[in-house]
Chains A and B, each alone.
Chain A
């Protein structure tokens, strides 16, 4: 989350927020437990970040960076923002 420059908001969960000009704020949280993040939970975090798992792995592997993420959000967020704004 630090790689994307997300701001931290501490509540019962730790939330991360990213403001990109002209786009809805992207929000995600980390699970409370300290165990490894399993595939289905990973998919839900990807949903919150609006990226596909392949892109998420790119972020984890340091082959994708903030500039790539911002471009992805502006061109092909998945799921698209319109889902939330019906």
Chain B
């Protein structure tokens, strides 16, 4: 009876290579290169924004941000809490645009919170991260 486990299909251009053989306790274990598909999230850099971010505004608890780069070299900075993003030619430009967008978002939520119970809840969350100095 053939109990061999078949290898998965192998492409012509493997991304990761394993050594052809590995010696272990006197036994030779033969290995083969298997392509690994790198997920898109792998290219996301995680940073934290904290402290004074703009004239009169400060982030009072570290706000996790995602930094990504498009194929054309431009950068995108975003968060997973408020879903705000900023973009720019450089990381610094993108963070600046993100901060500007977050402050505008804050103002929109503050106006909405006068009548909208969802915005009232969101304003509380926002104020746990960002406060006027």
Interface residues of A (CB under 8 A from B): 9, 11-13, 15, 17, 19, 23-25, 27, 29, 31-33, 35, 38-41, 44-45, 47-48, 79, 81, 83-86
A11 to chain B, nearest CB (A): 5
Q: Is B116 touching A48 in the complex (CB atoms < 8 A)?
A: no
A53 to chain B, nearest CB (A): 12
Contacts of B85 in A (CB 8 A): 41, 44-45, 47-48
Set A25, A32, A39, A83: member contacting B119, Cβ < 8 A:
A25
Q: Is A12 touching B118 in the complex (CB atoms < 8 A)?
A: no
- State the interface size on chain B (CB cutoff 8 A): 29
Q: Chain B's interface: helix, strand, loop or mixed, by majority?
A: mixed
Contacts of B125 in A (CB 8 A): 84-86
A38 to chain B, nearest CB (A): 4
Contacts of B81 in A (CB 8 A): 83-84
Interface residues of B (CB under 8 A from A): 68-72, 74, 76, 78, 80-85, 87, 97, 100-101, 104-105, 107-108, 112, 116, 118-119, 121-122, 125
A86 to B82, CA, bound (A): 11
Contacts of B105 in A (CB 8 A): 27
A25 to B121, CA, bound (A): 12
Most chain A beta-carbon contacts within 10 A, residue among B70, B72, B80, B125: B70
Q: Is B76 touching A24 in the complex (CB atoms < 8 A)?
A: no
Q: Taking A9-B108, A32-B97 as contacts, is the C-beta distance between A47 and B78 under 8 angstroms?
A: yes
Most chain B beta-carbon contacts within 10 A, residue among A31, A39, A79, A85: A31
Q: Is B118 touching A44 in the complex (CB atoms < 8 A)?
A: no
14 cross-chain CB contacts under 8 A = A11-B107, A13-B100, A13-B104, A24-B116, A24-B118, A25-B116, A27-B108, A35-B72, A35-B74, A38-B74, A44-B83, A47-B83, A83-B80, A85-B125
